[in-house]
């Protein structure tokens, strides 16, 4: 029986080595679905080993990477000091050799410095060579010792020394990237204060049950999802939504785990277990996001398998043909071939591509946008069409007054609102509460003979007049409309009505306009009536819409859209249970965080705050990620090609070749960090 495991990796400082190790483990019969995430130093795999799994994995890893540690829990890595000690010893040995007059003693100290600096690199090269794998370790060892044997010991030493210095700074730089991104994973609350009578018990959030009452202290994270029991509270949801403003919650409103209590102590009732909570979903998404690789990453991984052998062949051709073409000695052509070997190390490309995507995922999460894989960053940057659900996506989902129609000139629109608010104050209907939210400033007098008839309307006496609010039958009118309306009659005279509509989200029009300016075709699929859908479409400025769709019809309509536009990337934005099938079918499914569990599960991207403007932020960050990625690739490949050309004509030295490898790697890492800003 196959079972999934997750381990942590230490002492793996090479992206290309990580790829080789992942590839090797995937070939072994005891493992499947092996993913080695170099950006997070995690190893996930499925194995049919039944006992002693960790030791089996350690043994298999060490057969190809002797120095790598495999751990069940992350531990602090203190290899940096050891690296500096070896660098210092290597330098001392070489400096001593410079003062040696005896040829043999001089070479012993030179080789001693080579062995100190290149010991680990040499071991890795031999281990990989036994498995039929050629990578940068082999190139460096061959180049360094080759330089020694053609009496270029200084260049050979510089290759190893600068390579190890570069590896040290590369390790520090990637470590800083991991630290900056790991801060995004600090959402998990460490403790929950459970109230039992007059006592408070401090427990792990995993041990809290639905219905328990929790106390949240000032400055603490909310441990689980729930509803507020106090009159109000102030919450900082920046870690969830990316918005720095404080949110005021009132009694009975939902509170999301991961929010921070910015006000006084409050109590809450738990509505979901930790495993189903908002913060757990976010952590799970972040944990596995970079395991799904983008096409560019997969291409680099496949290409790097052939890259090193090809460069070995190129180096051999340079060694063989340059004496014929340029009338130089074979010793000089061998030196040029070694330069090509050094500069051709694929470090910069191997590390910068996954690091760019990892930084992009981190930048998204900082803005409250959770992306389930780096492959979706490509799609977010390049979709040509986007389909919106209506209710809860383009609209708030709360009904309110969208228009007022007068049928009697003796009254004003303010009169209609006034009488409407008076009556709805005494109603228990959900629509009444939505209407009253719009007009909180109107004071309501005491009314007489208030009678509410369910499904019809409400009537009352005010200043001796009979006021009726309700449908056409309740107010006795022949006036009809396809929209949802509330009629108002005074002493059986219908004086007007209000049209109710699902309120458009505050920034919906601006977001749609920005998408259209980016040449994105915008449309809407909804189950609402055509007339209502048309109004919404016109208000936000959509290119098109399709209405009167049942859930299965919405799915088939999206299928048709995909068939008609096979070459285009189509995104879908929704939040309801009925949207889940379409979210899964789309090239890039985007769910609103306030939506249903099934929609969030089926989606590829989750916008926690349900703010439409996050669509533009997601597109911007995705485009920036791909732009930085292209910069890295052009810079790394371009400089390598230039230095290879220099090597071919005998310009420069191995020091320049090492910079074109290690120096470029460091620069691409630093460039990738810009995505997080």
Catalytic site positions: 389
Q: Which of 554, 607, 615 is CA-nearest to residue 579?
A: 554
Dist. CA 53–CA 296, nearest whole Å? 33
Q: Kindly calculate the radius of gyration of the chain based on its CA atoms and give it in whole angstroms.
A: 33
Quote the Cα angle for 642-664-662, to 5°.
Answer: 110
- Phi, psi of 376, deg, nearest 5: -80, -15
Decide: residue 396, CB within 10 A, 0-12 exposed, 13-18 middle, 19+ buried: middle
Q: Are the beta carbons of 264 and 634 closer than 8 angstroms?
A: no
Residues 6+ apart with CB under 8 A from 380: 371, 571, 588, 605, 618, 619, 622
Q: What is the distance between the alpha carbons of residues 614 and 510, in angstroms, rounded to a whole number? A: 12
Pairing of strands 254-255, 226-228: antiparallel
Distance of CA 433 to the CA centre of its chain: 37
Sign of the alpha-carbon dihedral angle for 628, 632, 635, 641: negative
674: enclosing H helix or E strand: none
Task: Classify residue 652 by its DSSP letter.
Answer: S
The CA distance from 5 to 9, in Å, is 13
Tell me how far apart the 2 most distant CA atoms of the chain are, in Å.
Answer: 121
CB 136 within 8 A of CB 347: yes
Of 670, 513, 575, give the one whose Cα is nearest residue 172.
670
Quick one: 384 exposed, middle or buried, by C-beta within 10 A (0-12, 13-18, 19+)? middle
The DSSP result for 270-335, as a single string, is E-S-GGGSHHHHHHHHHHHHTTS--HHHHHHHHHHHHHHHHHHHHHHHHHHHHHHHH---HHHHHH
């Amino acid at each position: 029986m196959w079972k999934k495991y997750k381990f942590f990796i230490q002492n793996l400082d090479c992206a290309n080595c990580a790829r080789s190790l992942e590839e090797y483990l995937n070939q072994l019969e005891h493992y499947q679905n092996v993913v080695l995430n170099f950006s997070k130093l995690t190893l996930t795999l499925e194995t049919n080993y039944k006992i002693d799994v960790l030791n089996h994995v350690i043994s298999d890893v060490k057969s190809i990477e002797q120095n790598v540690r495999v751990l069940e829990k992350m531990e602090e890595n203190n290899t940096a000091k050891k690296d500096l000690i070896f660098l210092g010893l290597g330098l001392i040995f070489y400096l001593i050799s410079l003062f040696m007059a005896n040829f043999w003693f001089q070479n012993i100290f030179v080789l001693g410095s080579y062995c100190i600096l290149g010991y680990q690199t040499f071991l890795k090269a031999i281990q990989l060579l036994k498995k039929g794998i050629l990578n940068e370790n082999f190139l460096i060892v061959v180049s360094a010792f080759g330089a020694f044997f053609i009496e270029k010991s200084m260049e050979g030493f510089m290759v190893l020394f600068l390579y190890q210095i570069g590896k040290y700074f590369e390790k520090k730089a990637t470590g800083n990237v991991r630290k900056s991104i790991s801060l995004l994973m600090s959402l998990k609350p460490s403790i929950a204060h459970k109230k039992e009578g007059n006592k408070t018990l401090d427990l792990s959030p995993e041990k809290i049950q639905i219905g328990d009452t929790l106390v949240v202290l000032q400055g603490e994270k909310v441990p689980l999802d729930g509803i507020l029991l106090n009159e109000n509270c102030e919450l900082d949801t920046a870690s969830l939504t990316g918005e720095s403003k404080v949110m005021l919650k009132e009694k009975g409103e939902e509170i999301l785990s991961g929010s921070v209590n910015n006000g006084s102590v409050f109590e809450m009732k738990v509505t979901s277990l930790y495993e189903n909570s908002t913060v757990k979903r976010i952590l799970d998404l972040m944990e596995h996001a970079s395991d799904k690789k983008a096409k560019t990453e997969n291409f680099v991984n496949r290409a790097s398998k052939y890259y090193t052998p090809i460069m070995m062949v190129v180096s051999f051709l340079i060694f063989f043909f340059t004496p014929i073409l340029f009338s130089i000695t074979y010793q000089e052509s061998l030196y040029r071939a070694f330069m090509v070997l050094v500069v051709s190390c694929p470090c910069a490309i191997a590390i910068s591509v996954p690091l760019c995507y990892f930084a992009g995922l981190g930048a998204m999460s900082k803005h409250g946008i959770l992306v389930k894989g780096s492959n979706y960053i490509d799609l977010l940057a390049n979709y040509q069409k986007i389909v919106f659900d209506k209710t809860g996506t383009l609209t708030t989902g709360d009904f309110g007054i969208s228009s007022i129609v007068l049928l009697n000139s003796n009254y004003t629109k303010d009169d209609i609102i006034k009488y409407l608010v008076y009556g709805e104050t005494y109603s228990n209907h959900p629509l009444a509460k939505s209407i009253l939210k719009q007009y909180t400033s109107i004071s309501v007098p005491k009314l007489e003979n208030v009678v509410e008839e369910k499904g019809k309307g409400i009537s009352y006496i005010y200043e001796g007049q009979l006021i009726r609010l309700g449908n056409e039958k309740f107010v006795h009118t022949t006036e009809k409309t396809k929209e949802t309306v509330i009629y108002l009659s005074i002493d059986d005279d219908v004086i007007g009505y209000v049209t109710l509509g699902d309120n458009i989200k505050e920034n919906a029009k601006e977001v749609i306009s920005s998408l259209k300016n980016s040449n994105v075709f915008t449309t809407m699929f909804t189950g609402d009536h055509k007339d209502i859908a048309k109004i919404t479409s016109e208000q936000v400025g959509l290119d098109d819409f399709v209405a009167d769709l049942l859930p299965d019809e919405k799915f088939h309509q999206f299928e048709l859209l995909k068939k008609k536009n096979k070459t285009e990337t189509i995104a879908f934005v929704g939040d309801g249970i009925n949207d889940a099938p379409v979210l899964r079918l789309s090239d890039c499914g985007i769910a609103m965080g306030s939506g249903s569990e099934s929609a969030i599960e089926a989606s590829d991207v989750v916008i926690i705050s349900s703010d439409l403007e996050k669509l533009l932020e997601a597109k911007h960050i995705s485009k920036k990620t791909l732009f930085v990625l292209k910069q890295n690739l052009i810079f790394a490949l371009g400089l390598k090609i230039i230095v290879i050309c220099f090597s071919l004509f005998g310009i420069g030295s191995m020091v320049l070749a090492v910079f074109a490898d290690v120096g470029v790697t460091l620069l691409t890492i630093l460039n990738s960090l810009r995505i997080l800003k």
